[in-house]
Amino acid sequence: MQIIAELLRDIRIPRMAKVRQHFDAPELPDVADAVRREVREAGVLSRIAPGNRVAIAVGSRGVAEIAAIAREVVRAVKAAGGHPFIVPAMGSHGGATAEGQQEVLESLGVTEAFVEAPICSSMEVVEVGRLPNGLPVYIDKNAYSADKIIVINRIKPHTAFRGPVESGLMKMITIGLGKQRGADAAHAYSFKYMAEHVQEMAKVMIARTPIIFGVGTIENAFERPARIVAIPAEKLADEEPKLLLEAKALMPRILFDPLDVLVVDEIGKDISGDGMDPNITGRFGTPFASGGVRAARTVVLGLSERTHGNANGIGMADITTRRVFEEIDWAKGYANALTSTVVEMVKLPMFLETGELAVKAAIKTCTAFDLDRVRLVRIENTLHLREIWISESLLPEAREREDIEVLSDLQVMNFSE
């Protein structure tokens, strides 16, 4: 790799300043109280009869306060006389194994001890119907055997398609509860038809299984719960599209656009299904969604600890590091790619020995007219965008904006672990 270092020797990495981005960010003061209030006011607990076994579906996404939300739903079910248990509802995540999916839940704090209910993890499914085009609709066998089912998930824009319903409760019902086979069926005709299939398959599931309601969360720009709602199952198709519009309005973003280089410290399945949310980075694995910042080059410096080697989304980077390459558990990412049919997500970008070389390579290849004035932004990950680092060339723009606050003097970019 000595020749690479020589080729990049004269490339200058700009000095960086930390700034704070300001967004409209309403936040619930007490998440547990909000869950209790919303479930009570929705009048859905009367659907649980004393002695009912109630499956509570919990997914793998980074839903803020997911453990606390799950525990409050468990307590509400118990108060209604039911016997709750948790089922992982995460499609093929966790390596598409029962053990892996329980590990994902536990890594999110959803443990039996904390939520006060057992976790029943299995990849076995039951077919409950088919769409007119022949696509089968599956549900987790443990959930299907329950007397009632409740679904918990965050409502937000999807990373690969656009439609009235994207990531949220109906997708959780279709793909999450469908386990690997359900996810495989929903993705069979590509993301081009995903918006249509999610809604159609969810309607079949609601009609033929004992799903009684969903608990949906909307998060603010700083990944904190802004709103929690309890929606009766029969009203999901009408209510979720309205909530999706609310969620989109609260999404954070990088306020500098376009960029020559975007540096992302870490990606991971705990951060986004795509490792780094393309609604932020602008790097989508399909042509059926758009948005985010326009960056000529994107660099990924690391994997999150909680992703456990799953580097799904690394294919959307242009350059990464040897450390990332050596930490990748290829089977986990490949399981996601084979299920979603989006193999671009797990392609390997150029990887260099150090983060410094990776950033230099991005600067050299970004084709900016003046590499000494490169427009560069560095973020921790796509969940944390309140405080970011910007290059010296962006400072004049930052100082003119009311929604940007400069926090530090210019500094040399830090590449320590």
Give residue 29's identity as a one-letter amino acid code: P
pLDDT-flagged residues of the chain (< 50): none
Helix (H) or strand (E) holding 53: strand 53-58
pLDDT of residue 338: 85
Distances (CA, A) of 119 to 94, 114, 143, 236: 15, 11, 11, 26
Give the separation between CA 105 and CA 121, rounded to whole angstroms.
10
Are the C-beta atoms of 93 and 101 separated by less than 8 Å? yes
Residue-level pLDDT at 417: 63
What domains appear along the chain, each with residue ranges and CATH number? 2-23+253-406 (no CATH), 31-249 (3.40.50.11440)
Dihedral angle of Cα 250, 251, 254, 259, to the nearest 10 degrees? -130
Cα 163–Cα 333–Cα 416 angle in degrees, nearest 5: 105
Q: Is the pTM of this model over 0.95?
A: no
pLDDT tens per residue, range 38-64: 999 999 999 999 999 999 999 876 689
Backbone phi, then psi, for 191, in 5-degree steps? -70, -10
Q: In angstroms, rounded to a whole number, what is the distance separating the alpha carbons of residues 371 and 391?
A: 12
**Contacts with 257 (C-beta within 8 Å, 6 or more apart), sequence order:** 293, 294
Report d(CA 168, CA 155) in Å as an integer: 4
Beta strands 211-219; 225-232: pairing state: antiparallel
Sign of CA dihedral 165, 166, 168, 170: positive
Query: What 3-state DSSP class applies to 383?
Result: coil
Predicted pLDDT of residue 117? 97
- State the SS3 of 318-352: CEEEHHHHHHCCHHHHHHHHHHHCCHHHHCCCEEE
* pLDDT at residue 96 in the model: 78
Single out the residue of 386, 382, 384, 406 nearest to residue 394, CA to CA. 406
